[in-house]
Structures are given as structure tokens and as C-alpha cells.
Structure 1
Amino acid sequence: MKPLLYQIPKSINEPVRVLKECHPYFYDNLHFHSEYQIMTILQGKGTYFIGDSFGNFNAGDSFILGANLPHFFRSSQEYYSSANQLQSQNISILYSPEALGEKFKDLSELHPINKLLEKSKNGLLVTGRAKEKLLKSSQKITHKNGFERLIYLFKMFDYLAKTDDLITLSHVAYENEMKLGDTEKINKVIDFLIDNYSKDITLADAADIANLSVNAFCRYFKKHTRKTFSQFLNEIRIGNACRQLVEEDVSVKEAAFKSGYYNISYFNRQFKTITGCTPSAYCKNINFKHLT
């Protein structure tokens, strides 16, 4: 059983750890850890779940994740086939303020950075010029060590604390409310939903995977994802539809069908609820971006 509390190997006195990882697919179990994390995607694509926010990620995207914030990054289905020989690469910068001591953290000079770290408890998506700068900075920090690495990270934090190019993802901040024993059950359900979203999935099907009654499952799922079962499933399906519209140039009707919707009116309503626009407006926006 993979633990929900993800323990990152480190020295007890090491405040900054940089991991450059390359695997066929990203670590895809819902988990959390005590470190703050800057996650930069170098190669690969897929879906993320951060706090209570679900969306798509691509190469070049960067995220700032607060301590104990539940999250996963799941690669697109084609990355799980060894025949494709695809790779998923990322740089993770992990920061443990406890290693520097309480007095250091309370320095007035660090107040802007502390505010940034507090915001990161909801998960932050880096956009615009900050996204480009962070991609370069994340690559540069891999070549630095010791005190030089710590100073460079604080320069990165200082820049991010001043930029407006950050989007808050989760609606609520998380504290460590999860128990290690919950991991197998919740991850089995999430895997089932992501692998079968195009099929006719019922609440009873998901409850069976968790080996719970329907009522108990509804309470369990809401507690661990902050979403209802139908909300979570619809966000997975609409996220897939968006990716299909962008990458495969399919019709709206075909995207709906491939995402598990057999009623186009219901699909249109869910699409607008989740994305804020209709599928046709979304497609027009895609075409406009391709022309500019």
C-alpha cells in the first residue's frame, strides 16, 4: 500500500531539496507531504488534482504547493503504455522552513515570502511572464548546492511574492486531516474514475470499489476530495473534453461522447458550469489563439 503521507528522503538539517525526475508517468496517487513544493513540468501532460481543484497540465506549467496539501499529477493514458516510450519529466523544489528554525522564519524581511507560502496552502498555478521565468529558474537551481541553493530559492520566492501572475486553485486551505490508512481506498476510487470516465459509471459502482455503502461512500468521498462524487466525475469528463477539443480537433458532439456524455444538452450545461463558457465559445477561443 502506497502511503498517503509521502515521505521525501532528506537530511534532517536540509532546508532545500531539488529533485529532477524522469519516468514514463508521474506519481499518480493522491498524497501530501510536510514540505512546500514548486513543481515544474518539463515534459509530459495529463490531469492534476490539487486541494479541491481539477485541471489539465502540460509541459512548461509550474505549480506552488503548500505543506500538507493533497495532490496528484496523473499522466495522460498513452504514457502508461511501454510501447509508446514516452517520458514525463519534472523538477521539484522542496522547502522545509522548520530546518531553519522558528526565529529565522519570523524575520520581518521574510514577511512577503511567508504570505506567499500561506497562499500556497490553496495551491497556486504560475502564469504569464512568471511562468517563463520560473521554468528557467527551476532548471538553474539544479546546478546549485548548499547555501547557494538556499539563497537562490529565496530569490525565486521573493520574485513570486511580488508577481500578480499567480492563480489560486483550491477553494479551501488544507491542514493534515487525512489518516494513512485511507490511502488505498481513496486512490482505488480515483483510479477507477479516471480510467473509466467515458463509461456509464454509477454512484453504486464507485461505492463498491471502496467497499462501502452508498451513503457511507458519499460522506467518505466528500471528506477526502471536498467534492461530491458527481462533481468530481464531471470535472474529470469536462477536463478530458477540453483536451480533446484542443489536441484532437474533434467536434463538440464527439468530444462529449468520448467523455462519457450521451446527452448533448447536459454536456453543454456541465461544460459551462465548470469552464465558464460554452463548448462553441471554447472552440472559438482555441482557434483565435492558434491564429495569433
Structure 2
Amino acid sequence: MDIGKIIKEKRSEYNLTQEDLAQEFFVTRQLVSKWENGKSYPDLKQVVQLSELFDISLERLLKEDTEMVEELNFDTKRKKIFKILSILITVIVILTIAFFGVIRWIDTVFLTADDIQITKITKRVLPEKERIIEGTGEKVTLPEDVEYTIHFKSNGWLINLYNVSGQKEYSDDKSIMVNAKAEHHLYSHNKESTIVIRSDRESKLFDPDLNVGKSIYLYNIDKVSKWHRKNTKKFDFPSIAKSGDKLADIKELEKLPSK
């Protein structure tokens, strides 16, 4: 006897309607009807529930219904395959996240003004001086300039500072842009560092990018990205004031004593 006939026989024996049995298994009456007519089969869990409900052994339920057994075997294999695929997909997703996490981890950290606490700024004034150009014997006058060393500390989580973490990038008529970089490290043993702003009057004799009379800004990559999202012109670049965080105003710098 196939399982559909057994279900119908036991349902009648227990005085249950198809609707009663459907409610017991949280399925539709139409599905129960398909079970009994051999047009569909209960799954393995439902077979076990039928066995318990009608107090009939699984062996009897499945003994002569080879088609039902094959269906259950196929369903079990399909669930195993689905489970394996789910595990593989999960592993791939985790590995992908881990890969990009590692890439981000080993990438350079660009510090912003919120990441650092300035402890001291020292200034060194470079007076005018004469210099003879080797080879030509030409005499040039190096203009007065100034150099700064910004001492700071950072309490960023898993951030390790270099001994010198930043330097001058470029400047305009009123401002100097500097950067400050660090590295990710499980043990942040270096929490204090410096940003060094050197004069280039020696290396650029005829067009020096002087530091004197300028405020200092720290490069902020988030501000730059935000500016470029709003300004799509290919060759436009934000001003120093719009792409950096002010670290020191010229008025403060002029009051500093010179070393």
C-alpha cells in the first residue's frame, strides 16, 4: 500500500477531515488531497509527524512506496547540496571581506585634525643670505624664510605613528598644506610624532615656495573626496582651505619664539 492510501485510511480511522489534517501540519487542504491521491508526497519531517500522529512505524509508511522513498532521498540530497552551497557561499563572502579588510589594514592611514593633539610648535627663522651658484659663479640672495616642527600625539585605536609622520606638501600665497601619516599596528608603541615643514629656498633658488607669512593646514582626504563629488570638472582642484583642516593660524605662528 502506498503512503497516500495509508494517510487516507488512518485519517478516516481517526475521524479527521482533510482540513483537520491540514491544520495539524500547517499546510493547505489541497496539499493533503494531493498526498492521498499520490500527486505529491510529504517531506521527511512530515513523514515522521505522520508516523507519530497515527502511531504507525516509518517502516510501514515507506515499505512499499519506492517512488516516495526515491523522492525523499532526492529531497535529502538536494538539501545537503543546498547546505554545502550555503556554506561555500558564506566562506567566500567571509574570505572576500577579510581580503579587503587586510588591504585596508595594511594601507596608509591619513590622519586628520581630529586624530591628533598638538603639544608644541617650534619655529626656526632663516634670515636672508648670499649664495654663490657653483659653475656659474652667480651670486643670489636667498630670501628670509621660516621652518616649523609640529609636535603632536595621537590616541587613535591600533594606530602607530612614525618618528616623523608628516611634511610639507605644497603651499599657496596664504597657506601651507602638510600631511600626517601613520600605520595600523596591533600594538601602538609610538603615540607621539612630528610634522616637519622645511624651507625649499636652497633647492628652488629662482622660484622658492616660501613658508613665511602663511597658516598651516593638514590634508583631509574626506574633504577632498567630498569636494570632488560636488565639482566634476576634470582639472579643478580645491583650495588648501577647502581640502585641509587648519592646524595653526599665521597670527599664532608669528608670536612663536624662534630657536
Check whether TM > 0.5. Answer: no
Under TM normalisation by the shorter chain, which class is it? under 0.3
Structure having the higher strand fraction is 2
The structure that is helix-richer by fraction is 1
Higher relative contact order (CA 8 A, sep 6+): 1
TM, length-normalised to structure 1: 0.17
